Amino acid sequence: MMKKACWAALAACACALAWGEVPITNGTEWTVFRFENTIKDGSILDFSNILPADRPAGARHGRLVVDAEGHLVGEKSGERVRLVGANLNFDANFMDKETVDRLAKHFRQMGYNAVRLHHTDVLLMSGGWNGCWSDAIDEKMLDRLDYTFAAMKREGLYVTTDFYQMRRVNKAELPSLKLKENLDFGWFKGFLPIYDAAFEVWCKYPKKLMTHVNPYTKLAWKDDPALAFVVSANEDTLMSICGHRPANGDQKERRSSPRFEDAFHAWQKANEEDFALDGAADQDELWYDFIIEKGAGIQRKYVRYLNGTLGYPGLVSGVNWWDLKFSAYERGELSLVDNHGYADHPQSENNYTKWNQASNVKGHPCYAMPAIKAPTRIFGKPMAITEWQFCMPNRYRAESGPVMGAYSAFQDWDATFRFAWSHSAKSCREQTAMNAKSWFDLASDPLNQVSDRLNVLLFRRGDVSPAKERHCYAVTRKDAIASGMGDMWKVGRFPQDFTALAYRHAIGSQVVDEGHPARKGLTRLYAAKGCLITDEALLNGNVCLKLDKLPKTEWSDADVVSDTGELA
């Protein structure tokens, strides 16, 4: 008879095989690799010697502003600044001073010059996740966040943060809406464009944080030049929140129905004469027009409040999710374009996580990071990717640094932030092993850490030259609506032949209608069939071609070479 321990081991192996897992043991094929999140001063891994930090951040360059070419430059120095960094999430933003000091130095030695303080609102508020008041900030947690900001600034890192991420909003803050329960983050972001009361609640948090004087920097957050830019609300693309429709087209299945239905019909009634003139009678077209107008409108509202009412002189961004044409209308209202993208993002079904083990490079080139993000860049505005990662345990994730670094530099973007350094204070304080809850975190991933050194050199140091040519997709309302807007993967995307140009040239998009002229000096401007631009005022000296004039990219054994000749 087998002992119980043997039966337990056999059962464990059977379960592992059933779930497609393979036990790994030390031997000829695999070996144990021990690493520590420490960098010896002056060693080959100390990139502070290769890319000396400007300490404190903002002292030399001043606040970051946008130059005539649409890039981040120092207001004082006039020099181009590319930001490279990582995200800190949840309680990793609220650590003890010793740990924060050590981490800030470590980031400088990694070659980083920026950090994103993300998911701060969940723990910063009194009441945390559940039903906190929007200006009830926990003073102890605020002091820790202030110190994190100051320590990063001291080591030469610019800071960015978001004003709304994931916290729930107390129903008592919105008595006019007669809510039965507190709002989760999806509902609240959906309500912001349609209810003035929701916007007034949103204003409380940035007002409290930005006007507060950081005792460690002696400056209000809004006045600190080390605050590179802010994001009004994380991943707030309006169509992603309320615009989904099922295959049968049932309008009542919208995320925020019936409230969005009511708002839509009120808007439709108020604009009835305009639509009669346009001849737009189709309900889908009207719904998409409603989404475009409300989505762009809330972004204008954020900017007016932050730059105007609050007196923050810096850059404002948002709409940092989805890659569809219509988002150009929302992003066009902002001073900086932001987006998020992942390779090997884990997918979960029935509490079982499926891990992708495919190469990003050998996948479909138009859906590969970072090319898939390239069309969403708007020429004339800085481009940032504030979340990106090639997630473990994918065995090909070492591609991340060279691929992202090379093509971000080639596309001539302005900022990239790994998601994330860590989701927990514990993994910042002590060495933790890779586990199912840390698939995004560099702190427990030596492979992505060493790969990120290439990202820093290729992108921040500029080892790869920017593209010689700039090709732009002309977004029109007619084209955006005709392409569809309700599914981030199936409709509304930029054509694959245009996305494929990202491997040859710098690409981007721009709204070119309603009095929005194209930016001067583009190599080519492309428009969809039936939307070819002929108005000289909109062309602004550029030549507009139909999409069928795009060069076809054949993905075969032949190399696709950049117009600089550096990348293949």
CA distances from 486 to 178, 286, 458 (A): 29, 14, 36
- pLDDT digit string, tens, across residues 169-189: 999 999 999 999 998 888 899
Cα separation, 143 vs 163, whole angstroms: 17
Q: How do 524-527 and 470-475 pair as beta strands?
A: parallel
Count CA within 13 A, CB hemisphere, residue 438. Answer: 20
**pLDDT attached to residue 431:** 85
Q: Where are the beta strands (DSSP E) in 337-414?
A: 337-343, 347-349, 352-354, 383-390
Q: What residue type is 398 in one-letter code?
A: A
Is pLDDT at 146 greater than 80 in this prediction?
Answer: yes
DSSP summary character for residue 221: G
Mean pLDDT of the chain: 89
Six-digit token string for 160: 């960015």
Candidates 418, 322, 338; CA nearest to 382 is 338
Percent of the chain clearing pLDDT 70 (strictly above) = 90
Cα separation, 37 vs 268, whole angstroms: 57
**pLDDT attached to residue 559:** 80
**pLDDT attached to residue 87:** 98
Six-digit token string for 549: 């004039």
Between these two residues, 458 and 122, which has the higher pLDDT value? Answer: 458
CA 101 vs. chain centroid, Å, equals 26
Is pLDDT at 23 greater than 80 in this prediction?
Answer: no
Instruction: State the DSSP string of 308-373.
Output: IIS---SEEE---S--BTTHHHHHTTSSSEEEEEEES--EEETTEEEPP-S-STTS-GGGSTTGGG
Q: Where are the beta strands (DSSP E) in 44-177?
A: 64-66, 72-74, 83-89, 114-118, 158-162
The continuous run of DSSP H or E covering 472 comes out as strand 470-475
Cα separation, 235 vs 124, whole angstroms: 20
Is pLDDT at 32 greater than 60 in this prediction?
Answer: yes
Q: Coil, strand, or helix at residue 419? A: strand
Q: Report residue 88: phi and psi, to 5°.
A: -110, 130
**pLDDT attached to residue 271:** 84
- pLDDT digit string, tens, across residues 189-214: 999 999 999 999 999 999 999 999 99
Six-digit token string for 177: 């809406």
- pLDDT digit string, tens, across residues 394-443: 889 999 999 999 999 999 999 999 999 999 999 999 988 887 778 899 99
**pLDDT attached to residue 17:** 42
**pLDDT attached to residue 493:** 92
Of 23-27, 50-54, 478-482, which range is least confident?
23-27
Beta bridge partners of 546: 527
Cα separation, 416 vs 418, whole angstroms: 7
- pLDDT digit string, tens, across residues 280-295: 457 778 888 999 999 9
Cα separation, 385 vs 328, whole angstroms: 16
Q: Coil, strand, or helix at residue 65? A: strand
Task: For helices 446-455 and 97-110, give the axis angle rounded to 10 degrees.
Answer: 50
Six-digit token string for 71: 């890039």
Six-digit token string for 491: 């409709």
Is pLDDT at 244 greater than 60 in this prediction?
Answer: no
Cα separation, 159 vs 161, whole angstroms: 7
- pLDDT digit string, tens, across residues 39-76: 999 999 999 989 988 999 999 999 999 999 999 999 99
Is pLDDT at 371 greater than 90 in this prediction?
Answer: yes
**pLDDT attached to residue 239:** 85
Contact between 400 and 448 (Cβ < 8 Å) = yes
**pLDDT attached to residue 514:** 81
Q: CA 103, 104, 108, 110: dihedral to nearest 10 degrees?
A: 20
For residues 487-501, average pLDDT:
88
Six-digit token string for 547: 């999409």
Residue count of the chain, please give it.
Answer: 568
Q: Coil, strand, or helix at residue 87? A: strand
Is pLDDT at 168 greater than 70 in this prediction?
Answer: yes
For residue 556, what pLDDT band results from cuts at 50, 70 and 90? low
**pLDDT attached to residue 144:** 98
Cα separation, 442 vs 398, whole angstroms: 12
**pLDDT attached to residue 257:** 66
- pLDDT digit string, tens, across residues 308-351: 999 999 999 999 999 999 999 999 999 999 999 999 888 776 55
Percent of the chain clearing pLDDT 90 (strictly above) = 70
Cα separation, 62 vs 73, whole angstroms: 9
**pLDDT attached to residue 16:** 47
Six-digit token string for 499: 């996305």
> What does the angle CA 52 – CA 336 – CA 149 come to, to the nearest 5 degrees?
50
Between these two residues, 7 and 217, which has the higher pLDDT value? Answer: 217
Cα separation, 491 vs 327, whole angstroms: 13
